[in-house]
Amino acid sequence: MQRVKLEIAYDGTNYHGWQLQPHAVTIEGVINEKLSQLCQEDIRVIGASRTDAGVHAYGNVAVFDTESKIPPERFAMALNALLPTAIRVQRSFAVPADFHPRHCDSIKTYEYHILNRRIAIPTRRMYAYHFHWNLDLEAMREAAGYLVGKHDFVCFCSSKTQVKDTTRTIYSLTIEERGDELVLRVQGNGFLYNMVRIITGTLLQVGTKHFTPAYVKELLTCKDRSKGGACAPAHGLFLVEIVYPDLEAQSPMQSL
């Protein structure tokens, strides 16, 4: 028996998200199917992040246990030969039997891409949120600064969340201009349901002067979820990587 870790990139456009569903095509469902075919066993992966429909990934993480004799680092290529081109395993390797992608400490990095120009660009329509209003970047960066650190992010998560402790730590939150695209990049020890999309939506409301940066600071202490900002659409969001500091074999995936 071996436990194998997969680092998986996907285009979320045509999937109903990560998580297995009985009557919809999901990333997890497709990976289970192809792994089971490859190993000739009934395989069920454990995923690190249950990304929503339309959200993309460069490096989501999943693990599975198998009796297969396939060398762990060969699973990436073997699976890619069976998977649709919208899903590509970037790397596979053996991990300790007690490694769990959701219960071990990790640093997650997300990017949210905003195309900030008057008219949309068709080739970006599935990978960036087209937002045509002018944005006050300085105000957005001031507001972003308040969110860094350990806070109760209850005003930055979906009311559908089932977790009780809504405290999380954001290590960094930057907004980079790349031509007419803004890339919001956030690193943290974990994110609540829709948290990155609500942070993005809120910062966009700062950019259009609907909210002040000070209001965003207040949201961190007000606890009234209804005061929070909008949720930006799924298709601008990318799960970039998940790093497990305790996992020795790990070398961080190259940033894209």
Which residues lie near a copy of itself (CB under 8 A)? 9-11, 56, 58, 76, 80, 85-90, 119-123, 125-127, 179-180, 238, 254-256
Angstrom distances, CA of residue 26 to CA of 23, 30, 250:
9, 6, 27
Measured from the CB atom, the residue of 89 and 154 that comes closer to a copy of itself is 89
Tell me the closest approach of the beta carbon of residue 89 to a copy of itself, in angstroms: 8
Output 123 or 226, the one with its CB closest to a copy of itself.
123
Tokens of residue 154, six digits: 């209850």
In sequence order, which residues have a C-beta less than 8 Å from that of residue 176 and are 6 or more positions away? Answer: 182, 183, 185
Residue 198, helix vs strand vs coil: helix
In angstroms, give the least distance from the CB of 55 to a copy of itself: 11
Biggest CA pair distance of the chain: 59
Cβ 8 to a copy of itself, closest distance in Å? 9
What b/e string do you get for 68-98 counting C-beta neighbours within 10 Å, with b at 16 or more?
beeebeebbebbbeebeeebbbbbbbebeee
Q: How many CB atoms lie within 10 A of CB 200?
A: 30
In the complex, the smallest distance separating the C-beta of residue 146 from a copy of itself, rounded to whole angstroms, is 30
Q: Which is nearer to a copy of itself, 128 or 219 (CB)?
A: 128
Nearer to a copy of itself, 1 or 81 (CB): 81
Tell me the catalytic residues. 52
Rounded to an integer, what distance in angstroms lies between the CA atom of residue 8 and that of residue 80?
A: 10
Round to the nearest angstrom and report the end-to-end CA distance of the chain: 34
